[in-house]
Amino acid sequence: MTAQSSQSSRPSPSSPGAQPFRQDVAGDPWGLPPDVADTRPLPADFLWGGAVAAHQLEGGWDVGGKGPSVVDVLTAGARGVPRRITERVEPGEYYPNHEAIDFYHRYREDIALMAQMGLRCLRTSIAWSRIFPRGEEAEPNEEGLAFYDALIDELLAHGIQPVLTLSHFEMPLHLARSLGGFRNREVADHFVRFARVCFERYGDRVTYWMTFNEINNQMNVDNPLFLWTNSGVTLQAGDDPVEVMLRTGHNELVASARAVVVGHGLNPALRIGCMISSPTIYPWSCDPQDMMAFAVANRDRFLFPDVHVRGHYPAAWQRRVEREGWDLGVQPGDAEILAAGTVDYIGFSYYMSQVVRAGARADTSTSLNGGMPNSVDNPHLASTDWGWPVDPVGLRYTLNMLYERYELPLFVVENGFGAVDQVESDGSVHDPQRIDYLRSHIDQLKRAVLDDGVDLIGYTPWGIIDLVSFTTGEMRKRYGMIHVDRDDAGQGSLERRPKDSFEWYRRVIASNGAQLW
């Protein structure tokens, strides 16, 4: 931790060395007093689970007929050191996603461990280029389809419901390099074909789907990683970055809406959601200028979900596009498609909160989660070693805000604590800070559900098993409750071992959230 955590008056964490994260809510009139340990369970059908993404754990990047994807040309970085995007897979270059943690060959062992924890669902994604290696083929790759058949069946055999994202920062490299990614409308057609194949093949066994992971990350056009991984786009000389991002985003929103319509047409029981990055935004002060900066930051953050949920663009963004004279490449019939393909629920990630201050200037070129140009540090919060402010109360705030804004079921599909872990000489891994992070967030999530009435489908903490970090490509930034022996140079036995958080989460799930301590 890089800053001081404030103490709460809750029971002390059971694990030695743990320091509680700040979560006191003074004078909360809506539920339990802040200093009372909440032993209430969540509803019996609450989907406790874990979250991962294909490219961050599968490995097998060129196995089973898989084609290269946009993440297969990402080198390793570190905090403050951006990952490079190479033109193609270069000999001699290290690409951490190529082997990742070899889930492709070890998924049976991993699912058995997840079942021991009691997971009721696993959120993962389908590697698009396993199914369509170049993206343009008329027929899918049967070997790729069969891999996910086997994975889904293995999960179901262990009582774990699969929750699938269609594109979690992945598309076939060919679509990005040869067609320009989603900047090119044709790529939307390829995505819809991919989505249809997946719904047809797996829709009998998978209820919950999401179209694009954290589609709103690309609002930060200063960091090239986001346009590349969200959409397969690189900016060219002379481009207006925001215009390109909006055009690209429009094609993706249309693709998502078409996929929703296709999925519902095939099987009305499918629940197809969007997925957004949703760090809480706070204004720096009650200065009206800060409040206006806050309103504008939220307007930007929620542009994509506004369209996903409401089926049309918000008025302020329509005005801005007209004023700037931007061409989003909107085609006749798009308005009808967007209106017809609205989502069933909102999946979102929550790791941190951010603060906006009018006139502040922040460097957003390496920041995650839609980095805001006028963000400043929050003096009230501690941060992780990667500089992510830890704010459990912000999760309750965001759950309330999203539910009030959209009145749709919500699904927390990512939340977690990235940290360096130490394997002790006896093989144990003590991770009290991870336990405290998760406990304090679940505690606030319970208040949102039980006191505030938020309709929440489930909770899938990120990186239930250690995997490759998205922003940095590191292994040392670990989120898992299952440790994997692999380092940043790609060395290690790949052996799996439960951390302390494994047993803690097992108890949480078994008690339906009643036993957090």
Annotated catalytic residues are 214, 414
Quick check: 212 binds ligand BG6 (CB under 6 A)?
A: no
Minimum CB separation of residue 366 from ligand BG6 in Å reads 11
Which 345-364 residues touch ligand BG6, going by CB under 6 A?
349
Quick check: 470 binds ligand BG6 (CB under 6 A)?
A: yes
Quick check: 276 binds ligand BG6 (CB under 6 A)?
A: no
- Look at residues 175, 127, 117 and name the one whose alpha carbon lies nearest to residue 148: 127
Q: Which helix (H) or strand (E) holds 430?
A: none
As a whole number of angstroms, the distance between CA 346 and CA 362 comes to 29
Pick the binder of ligand BG6 from 69, 141, 213, 375 (CB under 6 A).
213
Quick check: 469 binds ligand BG6 (CB under 6 A)?
A: yes
Quick check: 229 binds ligand BG6 (CB under 6 A)?
A: no
What distance lies between CA 289 and its chain's CA centroid? 31
- Under DSSP, is residue 231 helix (H, G, I), strand (E, B) or coil? helix
Quick check: 471 binds ligand BG6 (CB under 6 A)?
A: yes
Burial-class residue 375 by CB neighbours within 10 Å (0-12, 13-18, 19+). buried
| Segment near ligand BG6 (CB under 6 A); pick from 22-30, 305-313, 402-410, 469-477 | 469-477
Minimum CB separation of residue 276 from ligand BG6 in Å reads 10
Indicate the residue type of 160: I
**Residue 48 per-residue DSSP state:** E
Minimum CB separation of residue 418 from ligand BG6 in Å reads 5
| Segment near ligand BG6 (CB under 6 A); pick from 172-180, 240-248, 298-306, 464-472 | 464-472
Quick check: 97 binds ligand BG6 (CB under 6 A)?
A: no
| Segment near ligand BG6 (CB under 6 A); pick from 11-19, 28-36, 218-226, 470-478 | 470-478
- Look at residues 391, 70, 354, 127 and name the one whose alpha carbon lies nearest to residue 220: 354
Give Cα separations from 239 to 87, 243, 247, 249, 329 (angstroms). Answer: 19, 8, 12, 15, 15
Q: How many residues bind ligand BG6 (CB under 6 A)?
A: 15
Cβ closest to ligand BG6, residue 141 vs residue 280: 280
Which 47-66 residues touch ligand BG6, going by CB under 6 A?
53, 56
Indicate the residue type of 328: L
As a whole number of angstroms, the distance between CA 247 and CA 11 comes to 51
Quick check: 477 binds ligand BG6 (CB under 6 A)?
A: yes
Minimum CB separation of residue 114 from ligand BG6 in Å reads 18
Minimum CB separation of residue 282 from ligand BG6 in Å reads 20
Minimum CB separation of residue 460 from ligand BG6 in Å reads 11
- Token pair for residue 119? 């997971």
Pick the binder of ligand BG6 from 214, 344, 436, 443 (CB under 6 A).
214
As a whole number of angstroms, the distance between CA 119 and CA 159 comes to 8
As a whole number of angstroms, the distance between CA 418 and CA 434 comes to 8
- Look at residues 374, 164, 356 and name the one whose alpha carbon lies nearest to residue 270: 164
